[in-house]
Structure 1
Amino acid sequence: MENISLLLSEALAPYQASLGPVGTHGERLVTVRNTAGATVIEHVFFAAQLCDRRQLTDVVDGLHRDLMVAEGRIEPCVIAAMRNATQVAAFATTRAFV
């Protein structure tokens, strides 16, 4: 798991990521700190999310999104609108084949 902490820190640079101890259900607390050492994000992930390469990619993408929100570079309502637009487009595509 130390390697995962290093990978997360590398992917989220200049932020520093660290993993907390394993919880009772296998969950791990991921803490992301800025260069001053202040905690920016704390989020709990299951071990499976951190061990599987595809799920780890999703974790990094989610943390990138959360960092953009924390930095004020994107509003949460923009994320919701983007998700909604994707769902509507996917629904329209599947309805066209019915």
Structure 2
Amino acid sequence: MESISLLMGEALSPYQVTLTPSGTHGQCLVTLKSTVGAIVVERVFNQVQFTDKRLLTDVVDGLHRDVLIAEGRLEPCVIAATRTATQDGRPAVRS
């Protein structure tokens, strides 16, 4: 678990990443703190997601998206619109 924490710390720098076992079904609480120690994002994941490279990439991507939303650099409605456009078969970005 410590090596996963280090990898996530590198991927999500400058945020401090803490992984804490949570629950009785293999969950893990992931906490991202700013450089001043304020909690930016907290999410619970199943530890299985840390054992597969593809699933771990999804976890990091999701946390990065959550950070962007928490900091106001990305609006949740933009994500919803992109998903809807992609599901409808339309290009996600139009020029």
TM-score under structure 2 normalisation?
0.91
1:34-59: per-residue Cα shift (whole Å, max 9, x none)?
Answer: 00011110000001111111000000
Are 1:19 and 2:11 matched, yes or no? no
Cα distance, 1:21 vs structure 2? 2.0
Are 1:49 and 2:49 matched, yes or no? yes
Are 1:63 and 2:55 matched, yes or no? no
Are 1:3 and 2:8 matched, yes or no? no
Q: Distance in 2 between matches of 1:88 and 1:3?
A: 39
Q: Could you say which structure has the higher helix fraction?
A: 1
Q: How many residues align?
A: 90
Cα distance, 1:23 vs structure 2? 2.4
Matched with 2:93 is none
Q: Distance in 1 between matches of 2:6 and 2:23?
A: 20
Matched with 1:95 is none
Moved over 6 A (4+): none
Are 1:73 and 2:73 matched, yes or no? yes
Q: Distance in 2 between matches of 1:76 and 1:22?
A: 27
Matched with 1:39 is 39
Output the aligned Cα RMSD.
1.1
TM-score under structure 1 normalisation?
0.88
Percent of matched pairs sharing the same residue: 63
Residue 84 of structure 2 aligns to a residue whose secondary structure is: helix
Cα distance, 1:22 vs structure 2? 4.3
1:61-97: per-residue Cα shift (whole Å, max 9, x none)?
Answer: 000100000110110000000111111117xxxxxxx
Residue 89 of structure 1 aligns to a residue whose secondary structure is: coil
Moved more, 21-30 or 32-41: 21-30
Question: Where does the alignment leave 5 or more consecutive residues of structure 2 unmatched?
Answer: 91-95
State which structure, 1 or 2, has the greater radius of gyration over its C-alpha atoms: 1
